Chain A
Amino acid sequence: MNKVVSNAAEAIKDIQNGQVLMLGGFGLCGIPENCINALVKSGVKDLTCISNNAGVDDFGIGLMLQTKQVKKMIASYVGENAEFERQLLSGELEVELIPQGTLATRCMAAGYGMPAIFTPAGVGTEVAEGKEVRNFKGKDYLLEHAFEADFAIVKAWKGDTHGNLIYKDTARNFNPLMAMAGKITIAEVEELVPAGQLDPNQIHTPGIYVTRIFQGVNYEKRIEQRTLRS
């Protein structure tokens, strides 16, 4: 068992042009900062990125947009990003918007070995166009397929050398779902410990889903809306 790699550059080195990546996080909360920076440095391009959001202009996936490494973005909400808007309007970037719960559940389905799910989200809207509708007990549902991703890249709070992961607070969000859903899953963690040091009762993602793990460095953890009690 050797899942530990030394850093982000090593973790992502076999990602090829044109592959499909899942990136964990909600807004800028719980994003794999180290791997995103390494992807920017690597220059790999024509990527399809599945992530709830697309970062902001100068942080998160926004950094990969600036370098034009993303061909297609699959997300639920993409505001707060001027470069994204420019590339979308100029036709440089392909975008597929899907409901947030559908995005989460399509990741979950992949991790649970299920080919598809039925959800009521989007029935009667443009999201339903071209999709199979099935009626259960008088209510319509859309058939949505499990995602297929070459790599899932997630960020956890703590991890061990067997790949077991624990997330912190709302930085959990899509991370455990995507961790289950990649053909290859890369986890970056704030603290990496030897197997046996994490309480098995507290593990969120069992190590079986994690292919590579490393301890990240220099987390900025940027806050999008710093809101204080008045």
Chain B
Amino acid sequence: MLDKFGIAKRIAQELQDGYYVNLGIGIPTLVANYVPEGVEVILQSENGLLGIGPFPTEEQVDADLINAGKQTVTTTAGSSFFDSALSFGMIRAGRVDLTVLGAMEVTDRGDIANWKVPGKMVKGMGGAMDLVAAAKNIIVAMQHTDREGNSKLLSACTLPITGLKCVRKVVTNLGVFEITPDGFLCTEYAPGVTIEQIKAATAGRLTISPGVREMSV
């Protein structure tokens, strides 16, 4: 079974040289730490930056330079700044190659819920609805089950929807799942995890790829 760093490492294998990538808050942010050797990716921050660099040193801290999680950051060589309409313009126009998001629920049709839990304080969707409605390649990074052990891979969302039929792939602590017309297609299982465990933990429609293999992370 993977920890959150393992999930991030596996998703980093999806990165290709020249990709423009938007990483959400939480596990997705960790993906930046595992960019494969020889692969150059440009990270997009939806508050208006292409080319997010590492966190700053004490001397480099600049209140005018933050990421979408409101953390202080630096820029990489070749970075650019732009306004919020242009930022979501490039997302809407499909220029961002890969978007990695966290989720509370994903369905076997690729629907995602990740912004609101009724009865709890509603903080808002931020850019999540724009990202899921327009990004051409969305990978969800999340735990396979919630704290009570309930599956988060469902046939229908129980929480308010963020976007419909938009997720392409889910990477969880148990495995890798592509969204297909037949539902979740398990293509990889995490080290130490059995197919039976995956079946028991998945509430949505699930098929196991004939070529299913152990994940290498």
A residues within 8 Å of B by Cβ? 26-30, 52, 75-79, 85, 89, 97, 99-105, 107-108, 119-127, 157, 167-177, 204, 221-230
Contacts and interface: CB of A to CB of B under 8 A. Distances in A.
Given A77-B124, A171-B64, A124 B161 contact: yes
A29 B66 contact: yes
Nearest to B58: A228
B69 to A, nearest CB: 6
Contact of B134 (A121, A126, A173): A121
Interface centre among A28, A75, A76, A85 (most CB of B within 10 A): A76
Interface of B: 45-49, 54-58, 61-67, 69-73, 81-85, 87-89, 91-92, 111, 121-130, 133-134, 160-164
A125 B84 contact: no
Contacts, number: 169
Contacts of B48: 26, 170, 172-173
Contacts of A229: 54-57
Nearest to A190: B64
A227 B71 contact: yes
Interface centre among A119, A172, A222 (most CB of B within 10 A): A172
A179 B122 CA distance: 29
Contacts of A78: 123-124
Contacts of B161: 124-126
B124 A170 contact: no
A97 B63 contact: no
Contacts of A27: 47, 66, 70
Contacts of B47: 26-27, 29, 170, 173
A173 B83 contact: yes
